[in-house]
């Protein structure tokens, strides 16, 4: 039988993500509702949409392998280890600056600032661009969601035209004078067309801060609502990296992904015909009691928290996972060490996107009133 299947089973999600008989879902896949496909065909102007090829997120091998190879090293263990000091410096500075704002919105004033600063530095973009990058990120995030209202989609596409123009000019400069940064890696060697370069630059930029912002926000909300767990972290700072894994497991920002069977596949007692769509609930998998005992318990000491699927798995598994983990542990530790009495100043405001579990705003008080 063809059609759409959904699973929240951890082993099955992991298996499908790692199974080369399944490929990525293109935006015009026939199993997607007609209006979505129509919208895509009406607006695919070759803009660097992160949810469309040639963004590596939605490209199968062999092109995917080519794109990922060009930038993989910059996000590998060696490269990320060298960033520890810089991430700490930026986080400490942001935490200090918060002191002039006793009732901050932690999303705007803290969570967005660290990831955008770091990814801009990795990509080699000037810091004068931060507010523009945040604006592009805000309008671009919905493009990873299917079934958007037309007005949201059109707004995102308008901003993408700016992204296209900016990177096109920027890459002209880099081609003439390459630097020691990730975007220069994309232009050297004549391996990628300009369209491939721009699409993957836009993906690295958006993926590089959007989800990390939300991991930090979700972490702040979880820790302030579980003071016993926060106390464990502040008493034993070596727990912060595991606390970040547990935050990602318990409330990871990306709820779902999907794959298409490239051929007929028999799996988990199901016959999946070529072309069928399988939706994989990453949030459901991370809540699977067969892998995570008592999954509704938020436990920063959980032994296997790091086995979560919040970063996906397999060949499309998150390229920036190491960076996100580093930013999470450093930023949350810096924030709660400097403001041990930090509390929420009213309920956090949820992000309207369905596939991104996140907050748009977290009003807070830095010290007890």
Q: Which residues bind ligand HEM (CB under 6 A)?
A: 56-57, 68, 75, 203-204, 207-208, 211-212, 215, 252-254, 257, 310-312, 316, 318-320, 323-324
What is the closest distance, in whole angstroms, from the C-beta atom of residue 360 to ligand HEM in the complex? 17
- Angle ∠(77,82,85) on CA atoms, nearest 5: 130
302 or 316: CB nearest ligand HEM:
316
The candidate with the shortest Cα–Cα distance to 233, out of 107, 99, 328, is 328
- Closest-CA residue to 191 (of 25, 54, 50, 52): 54
Q: Which is nearer to ligand HEM, 104 or 219 (CB)?
A: 219
CA dist 216 and 112 (Å) reads 9
Nearest partner of 353 among 181, 140, 208, judged by Cα: 140
CB of 221 or CB of 366, closer to ligand HEM: 221
Q: Using CA atoms, how far apart are residues 201 and 123, in angstroms rounded to an integer?
A: 8
**Nearer to ligand HEM (CB atom), residue 265 or residue 366:** 265
**Least distance to ligand HEM from the beta carbon of 105, Å?**
20
User: If 0-12 CB within 10 Å is exposed, 13-18 middle and 19+ buried, where does residue 362 land?
Assistant: buried
- φ, ψ for residue 301, nearest 5 deg: -100, 5
User: Distance between CA atoms of 322 and 75, rounded to whole angstroms?
Assistant: 7
| Residue that the structure tokens 């999303």 belong to | 107
The residue among 215 and 305 lying less far from ligand HEM, judged by its C-beta, is: 215
Number of H helices, E strands in the chain: 15, 10
Minimal distance, residue 312 CB to ligand HEM, in Å: 3
Q: Nearer Cβ to ligand HEM, position 27 or 320?
A: 320
Residue 21 CB, nearest distance to ligand HEM (Å)?
Answer: 15
Which tokens is 192 given? 């990628």
- What residues contact 124, with CB distance under 8 A and at least 6 apart? 179, 181, 182, 183, 184
Least Cβ distance, residue 276 to ligand HEM (angstroms)? 17
- The length of the chain is 369
Locate tokens 């067309």: which residue?
Answer: 193
Q: How far is the CB of 315 from ligand HEM (least distance, A)?
A: 6
Closest approach, Cβ 368 to ligand HEM, in A, equals 30
Quick one: 88 or 343, whose CB is closer to ligand HEM? 88
Looking at beta carbons only, is 49 or 257 nearer to ligand HEM? 257
**Please, what is the minimum distance in Å from the beta carbon of residue 141 to ligand HEM?**
12
């Amino acid at each position: 039988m063809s059609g759409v299947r959904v699973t929240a089973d951890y082993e099955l999600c992991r298996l499908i993500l790692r199974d080369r008989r399944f490929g990525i879902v293109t935006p015009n896949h026939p199993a997607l509702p007609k209006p979505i496909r129509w919208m895509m065909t009406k607006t695919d102007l070759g803009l660097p949409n992160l949810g469309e090829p040639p963004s590596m997120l939605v490209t199968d091998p062999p092109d995917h392998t080519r794109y990922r190879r060009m930038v993989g090293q910059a996000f590998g263990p060696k490269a990320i280890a060298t960033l520890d000091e810089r991430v700490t410096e930026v986080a400490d500075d942001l935490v200090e600056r918060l002191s002039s704002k006793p009732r901050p919105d932690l999303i705007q004033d803290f969570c967005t600032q660290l990831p955008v600063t770091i990814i801009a530095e990795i990509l080699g973009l000037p810091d004068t661009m931060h507010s523009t990058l945040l604006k592009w990120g805000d309008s671009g995030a919905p493009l990873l969601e299917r079934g958007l209202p037309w007005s949201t989609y059109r707004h995102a596409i308008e901003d993408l035209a700016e992204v296209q123009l900016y990177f096109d000019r920027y890459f002209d400069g880099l081609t003439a004078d390459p630097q020691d940064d990730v975007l220069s890696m994309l232009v050297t060697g004549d391996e990628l067309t300009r369209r491939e370069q721009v699409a993957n630059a836009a993906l690295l930029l958006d993926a590089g801060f959007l989800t990390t912002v939300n991991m930090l926000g979700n972490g702040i909300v979880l820790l302030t609502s579980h003071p016993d767990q926060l106390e464990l972290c502040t008493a034993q700072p070596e727990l912060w990296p595991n606390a970040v894994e547990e935050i990602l497991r318990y409330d990871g920002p990306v709820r779902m992904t999907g794959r298409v069977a490239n051929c007929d596949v028999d799996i988990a007692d199901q016959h999946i015909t070529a072309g069928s769509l399988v939706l994989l609930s990453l949030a459901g998998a991370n809540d699977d009691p067969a892998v995570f005992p008592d999954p509704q318990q938020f436990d920063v000491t959980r032994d296997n928290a790091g086995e979560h699927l919040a970063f996906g798995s397999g060949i499309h598994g998150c390229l920036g996972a190491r960076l996100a983990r580093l930013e999470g542990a450093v930023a949350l530790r810096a924030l709660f060490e400097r403001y041990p009495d930090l509390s929420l100043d009213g309920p956090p405001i949820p992000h309207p996107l369905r596939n991104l579990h996140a907050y748009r705003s977290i009003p807070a008080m830095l010290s007890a009133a």
